[in-house]
Homo-oligomer: A and B are copies of this chain.
């Protein structure tokens, strides 16, 4: 039976912070607020997750690059809405040694203003388009709210940002769709369920025409934004004078998009699958996919150890990331606890009775379900168990999320559900900013925007003004 997710939903924040430290993902005790250290085990998880993301981007026409961290204030200031939104959130470098800098440098909060001066050099003609590049870098925000490891950091150590330039508005629009589809495949591959919403005008990325966001629901009922896709139109290309020569010899500003996923992707795995015992990692990204634990029995040491070595050899030969836990100062029970906390998807136990039967015992991390198999068939059993567990993790997470989306007809109901941290509320909304703001205020939550992943078959009345509408809007308490 799966371990209950609801027992810890109330202390989610504490659970999350502890599991990151105790499972050795991130140590958040660094002497600067909002900065953390990726520990070896966490770093491997991060690497496996980024590998999936890179493969998806590389196979869909993106090229990886790396831009400088520092952005001159003069560049940051070129797009007026952008700078207004970010200048108070930037860390500013003002001195080199004891010398004051003539122009201050921002630690990049995001890289549009680092990239556009270079695009201006690179793009001359329509033959240079489209451009689709990405980088995986650290970005910085001077967060004044409470910081949280992986979720709200001052140094976001891991930000995958893609930037594209196109000849026409239509192509930029298509790129937005492509980005959404890449992100769906990414989150599907780690079994993390998501809602896709078009953010309201007042909450779009500074400098964008519109923004689309992926959100997940956390066990405490709050949503976490885990990915964003922005159509920038010509806002940045006009600010930075990025033009191209058209087929008929004219000049035109390029159309741009950008889209990002941060280390919240790692957080999303922890949140979507974790339980009372700690992490539950999807098999494909787990740093250790199988841990093998001998169950010692007096007089049977040798046959047990031999079987254990045989299991490890077989799994390694099949390319499975396997760890043998043969520490002699720990009981099997404390080893189980240790590896469950770290989310290792599959445990193989080899005890005296297993050996007698030429078998091993295979235990799934998510359900803790035990089953035996012949030692000779251990690879097939692991592969099959992994496949089933991967599918079940995703299914269970999606079901859980769907149970936490509520359609309501009144602000009173919405307010009640938000207060009880029941998840995402969907309401009819006329689409006006006035009514949207009113909803946010009345239910004390954030408007996530209009669903992009659900089409309405009926119409209703805006919960504020009563106008008939076919728009739903999503509202939730948000991280």
Contact = CB atoms under 8 A, between A and B. Distances in A.
Interface residue SS majority, chain A: mixed
Interface stretch (A33-41, A193-201, A433-441): A33-41
Contacts of A121: 27, 29
A88 B93 contact: no
A43 to B, nearest CB: 5
A13 interface: no
A372 interface: no
A89 B96 CA distance: 7
A98 interface: yes
Contacts of A155: 68-70
A118 B27 contact: yes
A35 B94 contact: no
B97 A142 contact: yes
A317 interface: no
Interface string A107-143: 1000000100110010000000000010000100010
| Chain copies in complex | 2
Contacts of A37: 65-68, 118
Given A89-B97, A94-B92, A155-B68, A117 B31 contact: yes
B30 A118 contact: yes
A105 B32 contact: yes
A75 interface: yes
Contacts of A88: 97-98
Interface residues of A, number: 51
Nearest to A68: B35
Interface in A426-475: none
Contact of A91 (B43, B72, B95): B95
A305 interface: no
A63 B40 contact: yes
A44 B54 CA distance: 12
Contacts of A87: 97
Interface string A37-53: 11110011001000000
Contact of A36 (B31, B68, B75, B154): B68
A64 interface: yes
Contacts of A99: 142
Nearest to A158: B66
A109 to B, nearest CB: 11
A161 to B, nearest CB: 14
A399 B93 CA distance: 46
A241 to B, nearest CB: 14
A157 interface: yes
Contact of A68 (B32, B89, B90): B32
Nearest to A67: B37
B40 A64 contact: yes
A118 B68 contact: no
A30 to B, nearest CB: 6
Contact of A70 (B32, B44, B65, B114): B32
Interface string A3-33: 0000000000000000000000001011110
Contacts of A64: 40, 43-44, 47
Given A66-B157, A70-B155, 10 more contacts: A30-B118, A31-B117, A32-B105, A37-B65, A37-B66, A43-B66, A69-B107, A90-B96, A93-B93, A138-B138
Interface of A: 27, 29-32, 35-40, 43-44, 47, 63-70, 72, 74-75, 87-99, 105, 107, 114, 117-118, 121, 133, 138, 142, 144, 154-155, 157
